[in-house]
Structure 1
Amino acid sequence: MKRYWVMLWSLWAMRLVRQPTVAVRVAGGWLRGQVARDGSHVRYTGIPYATYENRFQVFGGNPNHITLFGESAGSASVLHHFVSPMSKGMFQKAIMQSGSAISPWSLQFEPIKTAKLLANQMGYNLDDPYKLYELFKNKSITELLSTRVPRNYGDVVLSENIFVPCIEKNIPEADKFMPDSPYNLITKGTYNKVPVIIGHNNAEGYMFVGKENDTTIRNFNIFSSLPRDLKFASNLEKKQTADELRKLYFDEDDKDNDILAKLSKYEGDSGIVYPVTITAELLSTTMDYPVYMYKFCRDGWMNLLKLLFKFGEYPGATHADDLFYIFKFAVTLPQSFYEMKTIDRMSTMWTNFAKYGQPTPNITQLLPMKWYPLDMKEPQLLVIDKELSIEPLWNPSLRFWNETYTKYRRKS
């Protein structure tokens, strides 16, 4: 219990650490700034850098040697850049952690319908997309963010991510960032191909269940929560799929009656683990560049998100727990002393990949085994825990999701 009191203190102490800000482009070049003390805005200061190349020279970088990195929705954004023709040549490597654009929450198949629902919540009954655009354009940020489209009864929290990228129609004199669904573009091989690290954590769902409440947990049912990127020919087929998933995740004969643990496994697999896994396989089979797949399992002193969402006594690493084992600010927290081996190991592999295109170019005392790219003849991933190991890419639950998506995936 003492360990989690230290972690709780760390969540508060994180506010004291100055957070980095991205450089932004302005008319005169690029600026970097500082976050205001209350976190309300970014104050940009400094000398603009006149060109894209100069910006990287000042920061000691190379514009032709860029690794794009993202976690969660940021990881989905990285994959959006993979498939967008507008991002061609922008980056040479990529790292995607716990997120994919091939997921039920990262693509909107019905953008106009969704916009209408938001307008209805604001008291407007509009069908014309141009009128909807004018409405939202003139609303304040507060109005836009405080208006909520309720989720369907029985659905899960990730279903509320509805304002996300969509497949774009042809608009005269306008480039299309997203000409087709990420799944279609990758399976066709029409995307920006670069080496990639991609993976997930072993207990992703704790965070999402932590965002639920007693009512949504009580109302949850699998039939209503099936991902929106599945399209069934009939309710009978949908019910049969829901029944199979109930056996997999909520087996009544299972002696473990912890509904939160079971629900977190279901939400984590459907929202993060399966989409990441199929993305890794699709990338590996449609390009010649290496795909390094991992699963982060470390249950240690730096699992701050798991604690924040009240799963501190549960095993494993939840969504975004891995970030505290990578970034430099984490070592300012006192308990990082107990985790320096994992922190050094992960930061070294990630840095090696950015520098050399290989996370383990050499066997060392810190990295005692080679991390090989996926081999689709016998696909295995790297397990990152207190020690490193390997295991098969697919397990029975993920295989069932794959069979389901093979039959019912919505592609347009």
Structure 2
Amino acid sequence: EIYGPDFLIEEDIVLVTINYRLGVLGFLSLENEKLPGNLGLKDQVLALKWVQDNIDSFGGDPNNVTIFGQSAGGASVHYHLLSPLSKGLFHKAILQSGTSLSQWAFQDKPKEKALMFAKELGCTSQDPDTVLEFLMSVPALELVTAQNKETLRTEKERIHKLSIIFTPCVEEAGDTSFLTDSPKKLMENGNFAKVPIIMGITNKEGLFCVSHKVIPTCDTMSMFVPCDLPITSDSEEELKLGREILQFYANTDHFSWEIVNQYIDFITDVGFAVGLGNTRQYFLQHGSSIYNYLFTYTSPRAFSSFLIPKAFPDKAEQFVGTGASHGDDLAFLFKTNILQVPYTPPTIEDQTFMNKLLKTWTTFAKTGNPNCEELGLTWTPDNDHNPCYLEIGKTWKQVNKVLLPERMEFWKNIYVKYSLPK
């Protein structure tokens, strides 16, 4: 009901959508054999195995499977590229607005988070077996409610707006281990499935900060310093870097409503574009075929066009139509019923755009190559010597450079200077 298949199934494909465990139920880890973590991703593996065993009964081809997802779904797709458990279960991949290298998509101290969570619920033991026994006695609804408590986040995570508490993690090596090393190390070493890939972001991912009313309420430099940089909170070093970043985006030393559009670009970059750029680099380094895109299409039927006026009626004109927000692309692939957004029938312009997008995505799903007559141009695979991406907007055009080059160069220098994320 949330992601209706109506549009996609008209393109002569078989669509499978799944449910899997989320949050604390899907990604709590005590870093041991009893609760190693990544249960949500292992649910997805079971679904992929089901497809292999059964999809031919529905007219599908188990030897021609494409996995795709958006946001955490995009990161999930990337994780399957990295996991030995997913090997051979799919043949192409589409990553929309999320990779495993996104700042919010990986936790490196899961046991610490699990013990904090148990303590929040009343268990102060540090013994993993005792903690697990306690958590199994807590009603599921209570677990799910407690996972949203701000006390589980560090001060920097609370300020920064991009943190997710329970996410994928490294497990001890074994036959049932989904992830045996960090995504960064696996990518560096080329330990991932070499399949054709479409990957990209929207040009204003950070607009979700407006539509979901998570604009910062304080003026602190901490909110401009990514959580994965090894810098002490409230230190002089953090203050200096925060000012440098704010100056780069907005040419000012203070946050205000006047620079929210620049803050949106900042969130777009640290939350999505930087991770995408790093992922791209590793894919190309190890010979993957990738098609990059930047989604810029705006429309009254996009999620942000409905949610922003509800969140800030007096400021909507400042943001609506300025670009495509995180999730806006889903409205053109699925008949959606999500976030209390009413279904809006597409205009003629929307329908033309949707037809092209649906045909491009499903052509790739069928063949591993997105080029088709409806596309109206040649979408060239990206490469280091001739970088390129497809702009998907009111007009579709190939742009012969890397995504957001000046902004990505700025962040590359920041991470080199302050040491790369662990």
TM, length-normalised to structure 1: 0.79
* Deviation string, structure 1 residues 289-348 (Cα, Å, up to 9, x no partner): 310000000012331234214456241110010111123569x74234331111011111
The SS at the match of 1:176 is coil
The question of 1:379 aligning with 2:387 is answered: yes
Equivalent position of 1:208 in the other structure: 209
Q: The residue matched to 2:370 in structure 1 has which SS?
A: coil
The change in CA–CA distance for 1:117 and 1:224 in structure 2 (over 3 A counts) is: farther
Corresponding residue to 2:353 among 337, 342, 351: 342
Residues 185 and 191, structure 1, Cα contact 8 Å, conserved in 2:
yes
In 2, the alpha carbon distance for the partners of 1:222 and 1:306 equals 30
Q: Indicate yes or no: 2:220 matched with 1:221.
A: yes
- Is contact 1:76-1:106 (8 Å) kept? yes
1:308 matches 2:315: no
1:190 counterpart residue number: 191
Quote the residue 2:74 is aligned against: 75
* CA apart distance, 1:242: 2.2
Aligned equivalent of 1:359: 370
User: CA contact under 8 A between 1:76 and 1:100: conserved in structure 2?
Assistant: yes
Quote how far apart the aligned CAs of 1:231 are: 2.1
Correspondent of 1:322 among 293, 304, 329: 329
Q: Structure 1: which 4+ aligned runs deviate by more than 6 Å?
A: 14-21
Alpha-carbon distance in structure 2 between the residues aligned to 1:353 and 1:18: 17
Aligned to 1:402, which of 405, 412, 422?
412
Task: Find the residue that maps to 1:102 and give its secondary structure.
Answer: coil
One-letter amino acid of the structure 1 residue matched with residue 130 of structure 2: K
The whole-number CA distance in structure 1 between the counterparts of 2:50 and 2:252 is 62
Structure 2 SS opposite 1:299: coil
Which residue matches 2:281?
Answer: 281
2:263 is aligned with 1:263: yes
Instruction: Considering fraction of residues, name the structure with more strand.
Output: 1
Helix, strand or coil at the partner of 1:343: helix
Structure 1 residue 137: Cα displacement: 2.2
RMSD, aligned CA: 3.1
CA deviations 1:65-85 (Å, max 9, x no partner) are 100111000000011111111
Q: Residues 146 and 55 from structure 1, CA distance in 2 versus in 1: closer, same or farther, beyond 3 angstroms?
A: same
- d(CA) in 2 for partners of 1:15, 1:355: 25
Matched to 1:403, the amino acid is N
> d(CA) in 2 for partners of 1:320 and 1:51?
28
Aligned 8 A contact 2:96 2:201 in 1: yes
Contact 1:294 1:382 in 2 (8 A): yes
Report the secondary structure of 1:155's partner residue.
helix
Evaluate the alpha carbon distance shift between residue 109 and residue 23 of structure 1 in structure 2; reply closer, same or farther with a 3 A threshold: closer
Gaps of 5+ in 1: 1-13, 26-49
Alpha-carbon deviation of 1:188? 0.3
Give the deviation of 1:257 after TM superposition: 5.8
CA contact (8 A) 1:155 1:225 kept: no
Match runs of 1:109-124 below 5 Å: 109-124=108-123
Alignment match, 1:157 = 161
Percent of aligned pairs with the same amino acid: 29
- CA drift at 1:247: 1.1
Aligned residue identity for 1:167: V
Aligned to 1:11: none
Q: Distance in 1 between matches of 2:171 and 2:2?
A: 39
Deviation digits for residues 192-248 of structure 1 (CA, Å, limit 9, x no counterpart): 1111000000010111343345xx612253425533332248955544432321112
Give 3-state SS (helix, strand or coil) of 1:69's partner. strand
How is 1:36-185 mapped onto 2 (pairs within 5 angstroms)? 53=52, 55-147=54-146, 148-150=148-150, 151=153, 152=155, 155-159=159-163, 161-170=164-173, 174-185=175-186
Residue pairs, 1:220-239, within 5 angstroms: 221-224=220-223, 226-232=225-231, 235=235, 237-239=237-239
Aligned residues: 365
- The one-letter code of the counterpart of 2:421 is R
**TM-score, structure 2 as length reference:** 0.78
Question: 1:239-260: per-residue Cα shift (whole Å, max 9, x none)?
Answer: 4432321112232299x96233
**Is residue 209–residue 267 contact of structure 1 (8 Å, CA) maintained in 2?**
no
Deviation of the 1:369 alpha carbon: 1.1
Change (3 A) 1:194 1:17: closer
Gaps of 5+ in 2: 7-14, 21-48, 310-315, 338-342
d(CA) in 2 for partners of 1:304 and 1:263?
A: 20
In the alignment, the residues of structure 2 paired with residue 199 and residue 274 of structure 1 have an alpha-carbon distance, to the nearest angstrom, of 11
1:151-182 per-residue CA deviation (whole Å, 9 max, x = no partner) reads 425622222x0100111134xx6522111111
Return the alpha-carbon distance in structure 2 between the equivalents of residues 280 and 16 of structure 1.
28
The answer to whether the 8 A contact 2:330-2:336 is kept is no
Q: 1:60 Cα deviation (Å)? A: 1.0
- What is the CA–CA distance in structure 1 between the aligned matches of 2:225 and 2:128, rounded to whole Å? 28
